[in-house]
Amino acid sequence: MNKICKFFLKLFGILFVVNAALFAVFFFDLDGKLLFNVVEPFLKKHYDNMDRKDTLKAPYEIDKFPKYDFNS
């Protein structure tokens, strides 16, 4: 019984700490601040430096596709 109580107390304690931590993240907008100041700039740098194909070189075959006219 003691062991069970201790287990539940421990569990409750962990949950309380996790809850409090999450609440702190929520209340002080730490998620937003992390995303804005760290994650987004990192990702933007990655996107800006990505190799991208030159879309102006994309082929344009004039007669590649038929006329989609199912009533003719």
Partner 1 sequence: MKDLKHLIYFENLLQEANNELVQQAKKDGLRAIGYTCYFMPEVLLDLPGCFSVRLRAPRCTSPDIATYYMSARVCHYARSLMERALEGGFNFLDAQMATETCTATCRFQEHLQQKHLDSVDDMRIIDNDDFFCEFSDVPFKNNEISYEHYATQLRAHVLQPLHDHFGIDISDEAIRKAVEQQNEVSRLINEIGDYRKLDNPTITGYEFHVIQLCSLVCPKYLILPYLRETAEEMKTREPDMKKEFRCKVVLAGSENDDPDFTKLVESCGARVVVDRYCYGAVESRQIIDLPDGVDPVYAIAKHYLHSSNCPRFMPQDEMRARKKRIAELAKEYHADGVIIASNKFCEYWSYERVIDTVILKRDFGLPVCSIEKEYINTASGQLRTRFQAFVESVEIKKIQEGK
Partner 2 sequence: MAKKSVSKALRDFWYGKPHTAEEGGRRLGELHEDKTHLYKHREWRGVADTMYYFYNIWLYNYIFMVKDIMVMHGPITFAKGLWRYRWVGQTYLPVLHWFDRGLEGMRGEAMKASAWHYRAMVSTTIRQFQRMFAADTRLHGGKQNELYKHTIAHNETVWGGVFYPWDGEITNVPLEMIPYFVTCHVNSHTVLNYIDAVQSIGLPGDPCPMCQAESGIFVLDDVPDYAPAVITCNEACDASVSTSTLQDWFFDKPLFSLPMPMLFDDPLVKKYVMREIEELWKFVEQQYGIPFSWEKLTKKLELQNELQRFEWEKWEVAAKSDYYPINGVAQALYRIYQTQYGDWEIWHVTDKKVRKILEKCVSKKINSFPQTRHRVIAWSCAPLYYSNWCTWAYNCWGLNVIINMDSLMFDMEIRTDSYEHTLEDMAQYHMWAPMRRMAVGGMHHMFELWDYMKRFNCDMVAMYDQLQCKGVQGLHGLFEDEFRKRDIKAFWIPHALPDSRTVSRAEIRRLINDYMSTVMHEEPLDPSLLDFDDSMTW
Residues that bind partner 1 (CB under 8 A): 56, 60-69, 71-72
Residue with smaller CB distance to partner 2, 6 or 15: 15
Task: Work out whether the CA dihedral 62, 64, 70, 72 comes out positive or negative.
Answer: positive
Residues listed for the chain? 72
Provide the H-helix boundaries in the chain.
2-27, 30-34, 40-49
* Residue 20 near partner 2 by CB under 8 A: no
What is the contact surface with partner 2 in residues (CB under 8 A)?
Answer: 22-23, 26-29, 31-33, 35-36, 39-40, 43-44, 46-47, 52-53, 55-56, 58-60, 64-65, 68-71
